[in-house]
Amino acid sequence: MKSGPIYSGSLIGFKARKLRISLGLSRQELAEMAGVPRERVDAFEYNLPVPLDVKRRILRELWAEKSKEVIIVESLPCLKSPGAVRVPAPCLPLQ
């Protein structure tokens, strides 16, 4: 097996690529969201040298998109059962 940054699956750029794909985003869409050139997204995903601020922008946008699937944005009506305390339950919307 070849060695070097392009062949290592544990590096953050490769993980970011997997997340981007799982979110259904193209490289161009992610670049526009992060406000960086698409070529920087390409370089980051292949673990090539990219300025730290670019990495942060890309990761911030990926995290924000991933969080939309998980963040609690609404509350369900309080749970009711005999003798139980009314407790608000979170609602996880599926988008």
Write down the pLDDT at residue 92.
Answer: 47
Per-residue pLDDT of the chain (95 residues; tens, 9 = 90+): 444 444 445 589 999 999 999 999 999 999 999 999 999 999 999 999 999 999 999 999 999 988 876 554 444 444 444 444 444 444 445 44
Please give, one letter per residue, the 3-state secondary structure of the chain.
Answer: CCCCHHHCCCCHHHHHHHHHHHCCCCHHHHHHHHCCCHHHHHHHHCCCCCCHHHHHHHHHHHHHHHHHCCCCCEEEEEECCCCCCCEEEEECCCC
As for how many domains the chain has, the answer is: 1
Q: Give the domain extent around 73.
A: 1-95
The CATH number of residue 46's host domain is 1.10.260.40
